[in-house]
Structure 1
Amino acid sequence: MDFGFGPADEEFRTRAREWLDAHLVGPYTAAVGLGGPGSEHEGVAERRAWERELGRGGWIGLGWESGEPGESGGQGERAEPGERGEYGQQRASLTQQVVWAEEYARVRAPGRVGHIGENLLAPTLIAYGTREQRDRFLPAIARGDELWCQGYSEPGAGSDLAALRTAAVRDGAGWRVTGQKIWTSLAQDADWCFVLARTEPGSRRHHGLSFLLVPMDQPGRVEVRPIRQMSGTSEFNEVFFDGAAATEVVGGEGNGWQVAMGLLALERGVSTLVQQIGFAAELDRVLAAFLAGSGADDPVLRDRLVRQWAELRTMRWNALRTLGGQGDEGAPSVAKLLWGGWHQRLGELAVAVRGAAGAVGPYDWSAERPYQLDEEQRLFLFTRADTIYGGSDEIQRNIIAERVLGLPREPKEAAR
């Protein structure tokens, strides 16, 4: 795939750079460099205000495709770049979306609090939702007004999502949802949650599931409990639904599995390249710490750093190949396997290059909490989960084996 940047892309780069330089000022400067995986607790109020600033500039939803009016189950034509979309967002080509991500990373703009709505729910509504659902929810996402979280995993139904037990029963025109979700990112700040629930009593596995939209502001019906992690932060949560009202179903009742799997496929789009830009910045920090330290001549560490750089380049080319339409059904699983292990090894390097000092962080004995983790220590601790969340390595290998290589399926009942 030829992924060079043309004159239109460079013009777009200039426009993006000028906008960021002009708007990432004043109160927003306090949030520069804050947020993102492992640091979602940082500067939430400032980052939410920044989300609305992005919305006013039309920088949310750059890659949204048009939907077929009044129909669900199929995406429309990709919008032409250079214009405004029907929900106020700028329209950008694939290369321009990458340009925007590069410029965003260049100025260390705040970690996005609206990425779940923009990159997961919105493409799903465009692919499977009705015109009414798109018109209701997409403008609020594009403005940065409404934040979303994802209600998939449950205790006992994480990687094996089809084993979920959260149930929803009909209540007039809507549903009442009862159950528990876990590892729900940003639930403490979200306005809405898209929930995969069992709507057909007695159904099993992927049958009888529906993709429901649940407002989070339901006191006594929705409870969010933060999960404190090794890193000391709590961006993941448990969410308990006790007869919570769900107002919408996406893709039709009983078709939740198809919609949920469609969402997971959409998740590995341009966002994969955006993620890698962040990885590159982290690698640069680790390399700088290595060169500044006393172990800069250590041949083993040098080899590990070179390998990290080479593997990151490989991930980039694999992502470009997939975006160019050259991937297969196993491409999302391959991408997850690649970045999960890579990022975990980077976390290990972040501590290793500092030697014994990597185990000691800044401290102030006069403070209430005298010892705090620094950025690299949080990276190390948070990345321990990279090969588990978002689909464990074991599950990804099973998908590749069964769906790509055609190997026999794992006997699930026997496995239990």
Structure 2
Amino acid sequence: MNYLKNKRILLGVTGGIAVYKSPDLVRRLKEQGAIVKVVMTKAAQAFVTPLTFQAVSGQAVHTELLDADTESAMGHIDLARWAELIIIAPTTADFIARLTVGMADDLLTTLCLASTAPIVLAPAMNQQMWRAAITQENCHRLQQRGITLLTPDEGSQACGEVGAGRMPEPLAIVAHLQNFLTPHRLAGRKVLITAGATREDIDPVRFISNRSSGKMGYAIANAAIAEGADVILISGNSNLPPPANAQLISVYSAQDMYEAVMFNIESADIFIAAAAVADYRPAQVAIQKLKKTAQAELHLPLERTTDILGEVAKLEKRPFTVGFAAETQNVANYAWEKLSRKKLNMIAANQVGKNQGFDMDENALLVLWEGGEQDLGYGLKQDLAVDLLDLVIKRFMLTKHTDKVTA
């Protein structure tokens, strides 16, 4: 869902070389349907003119504390009341320091004090200035007051140095704001998610696995965190960085994942099984590496692994249970059959194969539940995760958090 649509956003621009990114940020916010007004400090105008921001925002740009064109010359009060969200990008070390001590000596600092709207800062400065103890202390004090600070990017800087202090890219800021504005519908709820691929050993060197990257499960974890959930992510093999604010439990095999799920399932409100779990494993694992012989064929007996999703679905007091169906053909038919056979609350189906589904940034999802379905279409997994979780939350709330399906 787009929580920026029709949102009244005040963009504050302070004086730093990263100002060149700010007009693009205005454009990206407007693409999301936001209404953007810009306030510039005197230093910011030394880098980019107000006319530039007026052109991209379609709104008058504000630069003076006492604006004779507003009623009673109280422009900062008008803007403070208008704004539903204040984002300052870039935010210099100087502005952070002045905001920390409550300065109100220009339009931007004054309206920050006069507004009840949430404030988000996107720091941008020299890497040593960012690392300085006083800057970090100021940031900590602002966070204690409820002001949100985005983490600056790392990389080469205009001064020629390398390190943390770059203003996040406009698209990244837009994504942060979307997450920031997302209603925390899962606050106080625990969501248990599986992701990635399991591995089943043949011998100390070889194993059976699949092409899953974990991208879908990790994206769902991030979406759940944005909704305020307490997230436990049980992950098989994946090279992805762990989602911030999630409890990550790394596992190796299907049995490891089963044990981790069952250990944590009792306290879960929602269980989303996005992992690609092996259906079979070698019946016997060789202690030493299997050597090539003169035989043309090698027979490798396999045995079934425990059906994690099925075991969860059979629990007397189970959470709202969501499965995944990755198929190479007859996607909808197989998904409906799996939904019914395992008595799931919901299933997300997608087609996989060569250059499709696994290990890709994009996917296509068809979501099914008893009496309904919704095609989420094709898109980035991070976007599909948000849309899928929205459906999960709505169905979860509709069942009033109880599972009436019996095994």
| Bigger share in helix | 1
Greater relative CO, 1 or 2 (CA 8 Å, sep 6+): 1
TM-score range for the pair, normalised by the shorter chain length: under 0.3
Larger Rg: 1 or 2?
2
| Bigger share in strand | 2
Q: Normalising by the residue count of structure 2, what TM-score does the alignment of the two structures yield?
A: 0.20
Q: Normalising by the residue count of structure 1, what TM-score does the alignment of the two structures yield?
A: 0.20
